[in-house]
């Protein structure tokens, strides 16, 4: 029987990790992720899990140790946030390039400067092209569910690509939320055993990892092969989601649609903001405006075709971004991807971008309402604006 618990989001990560019981957990504390490693360290200390923890001396070393351990054939998990993820940046590419199925929770937090410990998505967005699969979570339940599924996705032979599970700092990580835990034995059976393709610790077959491509010129081929893992990931993510629904009753896909059937005005958003937006959708629906929400779960790989199909009937789409690209007048990263996805589409809705919540700026209902009022007129003479900083003191 599933068990309903009331815990903070970092506990949701730790609980999933407890059930997975990875071989090695290298980590370094950083706000707001710290509670994950603290909780897990306690589980190790209490003998609840038999993982070996490495208290690395930095996030760079934590990811380096994760790579070493994964190349040694171990199932490896870690967690980080913000500057920690930024410090790992170099190693993220090496984990994905070596096709190591490391799973990492990233508790989304803004990047300095100025220093700020609260939520936005600029940390994980900075890693969007690092070859990691990225799955957003709306709440503790989704965080827990995503972590369990991430193992299966990462280790799938067609994929063999690391996965980053994203949860909003403080909003999810430090809020007590009610969610359901799958039974331990069911969860364990779902994630199964990990059998590595190659291992440094295969005594009979010594192997060489991280060789130099200085002279032969195979780098291009490796990167194309790496892209294949990402190309095959969506089918696996969908399949794993279906299988997970069977044991949990909760269905996961590339994105979740809310009141989208006849929606003319659609908000695309990722992370915890979806809850507030859903309520706003209901309110506007009552007023007779056909609004819907498309909650993006899978940001990498980006589900461009499916997204275009889902949005094809919309008159206007508002993309909510919790980070900026600082690329001139280009907008936030989800907006950039969405806009690009529509390039070949026959029918293109008006697109607006709302950049919100940087550095943990709250997203109250009033701001969502304000955004809906604005983008329902998108493209009209009154509303020519494409990119709006929502909630900015202007």
Provide the binding-site residues for another protein, judged by CB under 8 A: 23-24, 26, 50-52, 54-58, 60-62, 64-74, 76, 90-91, 94, 97-100, 160, 197-198, 200-203, 205-216, 218, 220-222, 224-225, 228
Contact 321, 288 (CB under 8 A): no
Secondary structure letter of residue 269 according to DSSP: E
User: Phi and psi (nearest 5°) for 138?
Assistant: -90, -30
* Token pair listed for 277: 């937006």
CA neighbours within 13 Å on the CB side: how many for 236? 22
CA distance 297 to 39: 26
Query: Which residue's CB is nearer to another protein, number 160 or number 294?
Result: 160
Query: Which residue's CB is nearer to another protein, number 55 or number 383?
Result: 55
β-pair partners for 167: 107
* Token pair listed for 164: 């980053």
Look at the block and give the residue holding tokens 């699969």: 133
Contact 309, 346 (CB under 8 A): no
- Strand, coil or helix: what is 143? helix
CA distance 241 to 323: 27
Query: Which residue's CB is nearer to another protein, number 201 or number 392?
Result: 201
Query: Which residue's CB is nearer to another protein, number 21 or number 272?
Result: 21
Nearest Cα to Cα of residue 67 among 13, 121, 132, 17: 132
For strands 176-181 and 291-296, give the pairing.
Answer: unpaired
Query: Which residue's CB is nearer to another protein, number 61 or number 83?
Result: 61
CA distance 316 to 377: 8
CA distance 304 to 306: 6
Q: Is the dihedral of CA 214, 216, 219, 225 positive or negative?
A: negative
**Least distance to another protein from the beta carbon of 103, Å?**
15
**Least distance to another protein from the beta carbon of 143, Å?**
25
Query: Which residue's CB is nearer to another protein, number 108 or number 226?
Result: 226
Query: Which residue's CB is nearer to another protein, number 131 or number 331?
Result: 131
CA distance 96 to 88: 12
**Least distance to another protein from the beta carbon of 235, Å?**
18
Starting at the earlier edge strand, list the strands of the sheet with 103-108: 77-80, 103-108, 163-168, 133-136, 298-300
**Least distance to another protein from the beta carbon of 98, Å?**
4
Query: Which residue's CB is nearer to another protein, number 221 or number 373?
Result: 221
DSSP 36-88: HHHHHHHHHHTTS--PEEEE-SSHHHHHHHHHHHHHTT--BEEEE-HHHHHHH
**Least distance to another protein from the beta carbon of 41, Å?**
14
Query: Which residue's CB is nearer to another protein, number 34 or number 226?
Result: 226
**Least distance to another protein from the beta carbon of 70, Å?**
8
Query: Which residue's CB is nearer to another protein, number 26 or number 32?
Result: 26
Contact 294, 307 (CB under 8 A): yes
For 165-178, the three-class secondary structure string (H helix, E strand, C coil) is: EEEECCCCCCCEEE
**Least distance to another protein from the beta carbon of 150, Å?**
19
**Least distance to another protein from the beta carbon of 69, Å?**
4
């Amino acid at each position: 029987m599933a068990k309903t618990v009331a815990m903070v989001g970092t506990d949701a990560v730790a609980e999933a990790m407890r059930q997975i019981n990875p071989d090695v957990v290298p980590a370094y504390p950083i706000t707001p992720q710290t509670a994950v490693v603290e909780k897990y360290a306690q589980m190790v200390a209490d003998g609840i899990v038999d993982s070996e923890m490495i208290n690395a001396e930095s996030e760079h070393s934590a990811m380096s140790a994760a790579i070493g351990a994964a190349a040694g054939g171990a199932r490896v998990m870690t967690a980080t946030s913000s500057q920690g993820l930024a410090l790992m940046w170099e190693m993220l590419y090496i984990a994905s390039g070596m096709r190591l199925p490391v799973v990492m929770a990233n508790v989304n937090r803004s990047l300095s400067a100025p220093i700020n410990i609260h939520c936005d998505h600029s940390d994980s967005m900075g890693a969007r092209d690092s070859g990691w699969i990225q799955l957003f979570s709306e709440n503790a339940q989704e965080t827990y569910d995503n972590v369990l599924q991430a193992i299966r996705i990462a280790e799938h032979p067609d994929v063999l690509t690391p996965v980053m599970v994203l949860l909003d700092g403080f909003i999810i990580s430090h809020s007590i939320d009610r969610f359901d835990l799958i039974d331990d034995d069911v969860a364990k059976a779902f994630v199964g055993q990990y059998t590595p393709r190659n291992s440094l610790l295969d005594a009979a077959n010594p192997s060489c990892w991280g060789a130099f491509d200085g002279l032969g010129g195979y780098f291009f081929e490796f990167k194309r092969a790496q892209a294949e893992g990402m190309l095959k990931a969506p089918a696996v993510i969908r399949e794993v989601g279906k299988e997970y629904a069977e044991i949990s009753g909760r269905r996961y896909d590339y994105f979740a649609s809310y009141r989208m059937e006849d929606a003319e005005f659609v908000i695309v958003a990722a992370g915890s903001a979806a809850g507030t937006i859903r309520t706003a959708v209901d309110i506007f629906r009552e007023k007779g405006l056909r609004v819907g929400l498309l909650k993006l779960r899978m940001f990498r790989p980006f589900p461009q075709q499916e997204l275009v199909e889902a949005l094809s009937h919309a008159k206007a789409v508002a993309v909510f971004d919790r980070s900026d690209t600082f690329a001139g007048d280009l907008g936030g990263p989800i907006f950039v991807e969405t806009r690009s996805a529509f390039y070949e589409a026959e029918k293109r809705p008006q697109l607006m971008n709302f950049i919100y919540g940087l550095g943990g700026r709250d997203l109250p209902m009033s701001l969502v309402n304000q955004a809906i009022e604005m983008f329902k007129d998108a493209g009209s003479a009154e509303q020519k604006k494409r990119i709006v900083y929502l909630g900015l003191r202007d």
